[in-house]
Chain A
Amino acid sequence: MAQETEEQKKFRQHCREWLKDNIPPAPTMRLPQQAIGIMEREQLEYLQRWQKSAYDAGLVGCDYPLECGGGGHNNCQRIANDEMQKVNLPYFPNVIGLGMAAPTIFYHASDELKRKLLPRLFSAEEIWCQGFSEPGAGSDLASVQTFAQPKGDKWIINGHKVWTSLAHFASWMILLARTDKSDKYNGLTYFVVPIKAALGSGVTVRPLIKASGETGFNEVIFENLQIDDTYRLDAVGRGWQVAMTTLTHERGAGQLVMPSSGGQTDSDYSSIAGVNEVIALAQQSCRPDGGLSSHDPWIRDQLMRLLIRDEGMMQAMRVHQVSALREHPMRIPLQGKLVVTELIQEVAELALEIEGAGSTLYIADKNAPAGGRWAQAYINSFANTIAAGTSEVQRNILGERVLDMPKSK
């Protein structure tokens, strides 16, 4: 991994040249902090235009085969991501499609389905959402109850999915459904569902309101929705295994690297969790006694703790690329989700302490420091420590798969 291949070098050059002239204009509207918070069609369309132009230039889906609409490259997505991180770009809107649906379809769908679905997923012409969680199935995902009943070469689906980000724009959903009530793990089957086509005829999408007061995710109700058997991935009863492919990629530990963009250039130090922004915030904020926050020894110590964790996380990913320094193949990749989401939460929390009295002001208050973004970021940070396997579930996974300790029930 240390040395770049000829292909990677050429590809990096291509990315640089294209990015030089093709950075999209700044948005005219306010964008949410991440793609799963997109609420307005105008926001979505701006971001879709960006993803499509990056796809057309070959920066999305780089390592998928040409016949599926990919770039046909070998290990080049990380190069494209790396170059996109270096410049100031918006994020891609089709995050669930790129991070979860695409690798799952690639490993488990028929060739015909791959050819049909992947190109419009990569281009963001079709947005994807994920139908996994239910009111009774959160951390214990395998207890999903949404039921798919076979009927000839069709399936009839009934059930209730929740926390479904982007469902209000989605054309497609990846769906984990029960096909056998007598077997928890082997009674699951995985489908792709054309939900937009079925709105009003078997599918209802309703917004859920987050703790931050914003919408952005949904509940999806299936009432006798009929879909073709051709939309099933892998065999009946293999849904859990297919879902593991989805989750492995969602946690950043899969074979196929997710395309991502949204870098910043304006700091000499690339921080994942925004620690540098909080350092800058401390330089403009006061403690209750009027002293500068950036002069307070406790604040300085807390900032350095977070800065060291941020750097440690980035350097750990660097270590993972050096095979002679790798202790276990999954040890660092599987830590990523846990470590980054908890760090982001603590960074936001420290930002609020630094803002002091000002941190009580929320996004609608014109006097709110930094436009209230840290209060918003703090509340929304729980979306990431809870979604896609809570931090507690992540610790189980690491303890069991990496440290090989017995499975907790």
Chain B
Amino acid sequence: MKDPRDFGFDEQCAQLKQAARSFFQKKFPTHVLHQLVAPDPDPFRAPAANWDRALWRELVQLGWHALAVPESAGGVAMPLVAGVALIEEAGRVALPSPLLTTLQSTCVLKACNTPAAHALLETVVQGSAVTLAMLDDKGTLQSGSVTPGKTDSGYVLNGAAFFVQDAAKSDVLIVRAGGLYAVAVNSPGVNIVPDHIVDLTRDQAHIKFENAAATLLAAQGDLILRQSEPARLTLLAADMVGAGEWQLQTTVEYAKTRVQFDHPIGFFQAVKHPLVDLMVLVDQARALVYAAACAIDHQTEPADAVHAQKSARMAKAAASDMASYASKKSVQLHGGIGFTWESFVHLYAKRQKHSQVTMGDAAYHRRLLADIVMGVT
């Protein structure tokens, strides 16, 4: 199917984006973020999931966490372009929340297309936060680090999953163990071990399973993960674009007010030009995110799936390179103050570094893109 020129970004999407921007700007300004996530600078402090659960409940009330859930499961079935618009705005305030993982999980559950997955989508509408537990201790999908077993009362899982995003904020895990299984985080035999991570705006954990009761969502786990990868990548890239825009605007603002050598430093081209280059990178990454979301929304034929995959890899690669540049320049151009704990720029730089490597960095996606465009060597 041909992608619409306007990305299918209709009036409803536009209203959602506008509403999300005002909501986040009002409820979650940057100084609140800093107070919330950076109370303790000690690198050896105990890992903590610092987030505003009341704000999350408001999001759930608005139904934003479930906007991509199909109508048959009680959702509003908005397109992915709406999802990326929402995530872009959440990324702009570096929101600590299970919003991204829940939207990504929704894409996985939709691809499962089974009654069990449908049932889990219904609990998402009720307010469950979901995340994906699929990686081994090397951060890959190579080994089956979790194995399923069958008992009289159903499936059980054993083993461990690593690099699970926002695990401490989630209610349900989608676990890759050959097939995909749903596991409630509070069931017996589930041990969430928080990682000590650099990013202050997320939490991450490895999770040990010891005869943890599980529900089979889909037998062909890797197929489902492959099918949903473009959407999951695009959502993550949208978060990075929002954060990148914050890094750009905040640094531009600083360059307009900080005076050295009798001029606001934005007067100097050594400061001005990199910020312009950053703007170009943000705009290209954002454009590729919306193009990818649109391509994913309009898949009908097999060739469309390749187009969607290409578009999503372009979006993640562009967003990762942009995030790298944005983080370097936003800290550097803030000078000495940018290197202190009290400044805000390090919060975003750390979130971006985390996002850059999550689901594969820029060079990785360019390699897979080359395999599609130029053929496998």
Contact = CB atoms under 8 A, between A and B. Distances in A.
Contacts of A2: 4-6
Contacts of B290: 315, 318-319, 325
A402 interface: yes
B363 interface: yes
A315 B245 CA distance: 17
A408 interface: yes
A317 to B, nearest CB: 8
Contact of A324 (B13, B255, B263, B273): B13
A400 B264 CA distance: 13
Contacts of A304: 317, 366-367, 369-370, 373
A332 B267 CA distance: 22
Interface string A326-342: 01000110010011000
Contact of B288 (A315, A323, A339, A408): A315
Contacts of A400: 272
A283 interface: yes
Nearest to B376: A295
A103 to B, nearest CB: 25
Main secondary structure of the interface of B (DSSP, over half): helix
Contacts of B7: 318-319, 322, 325
A282, A297, A307, A335 interface centre (most CB from chain B within 10 Å): A307
B266 interface: yes
Contacts of B252: 403-405
A311 interface: yes
B288 A399 contact: no
A272 interface: no
B267 A316 contact: no
Q: Is the interface of A mostly helix, strand, loop or mixed?
A: helix
Contacts of B267: 405-408
Give chain B's interface residue range (CB within 8 Å of chain A): 35 or more
Nearest to A308: B314
B377 interface: yes
Nearest to A309: B284
A331 B275 CA distance: 13
A301 B256 contact: no
Interface string A99-142: 00000000000000000000000000000000000000000000
A312 interface: yes
A2 B6 CA distance: 6
B341 interface: no
A399 B317 contact: no
A403 B280 CA distance: 12
A405 B275 contact: yes
Interface in B265-312: 266-269, 271-273, 275-277, 279-280, 283-288, 290-291
A301 B314 contact: no
Given A405-B252, A405-B266, A406-B263, A319 B283 contact: yes
Contacts of B377: 294-295, 300
Interface of B: 4-7, 9, 13-14, 17-18, 245, 252, 255-256, 263-264, 266-269, 271-273, 275-277, 279-280, 283-288, 290-291, 314, 317-318, 363, 366-367, 369-370, 373-375, 377
Given A307-B369, A312-B283, A312-B288, 14 more contacts: A2-B4, A282-B374, A300-B366, A300-B374, A304-B373, A305-B366, A316-B286, A318-B291, A319-B286, A321-B6, A324-B17, A331-B283, A403-B276, A405-B266
Interface of A: 1-2, 279, 282-283, 294-295, 297, 300-301, 303-305, 307-309, 311-313, 315-316, 318-319, 321-325, 327, 331-332, 335, 338-339, 392, 395-396, 398-400, 402-408
21 contacts: A2-B4, A2-B5, A301-B367, A303-B370, A305-B366, A311-B314, A315-B291, A316-B284, A318-B287, A319-B283, A324-B13, A324-B17, A331-B283, A338-B280, A392-B269, A399-B266, A399-B272, A399-B275, A402-B279, A405-B275, A408-B267
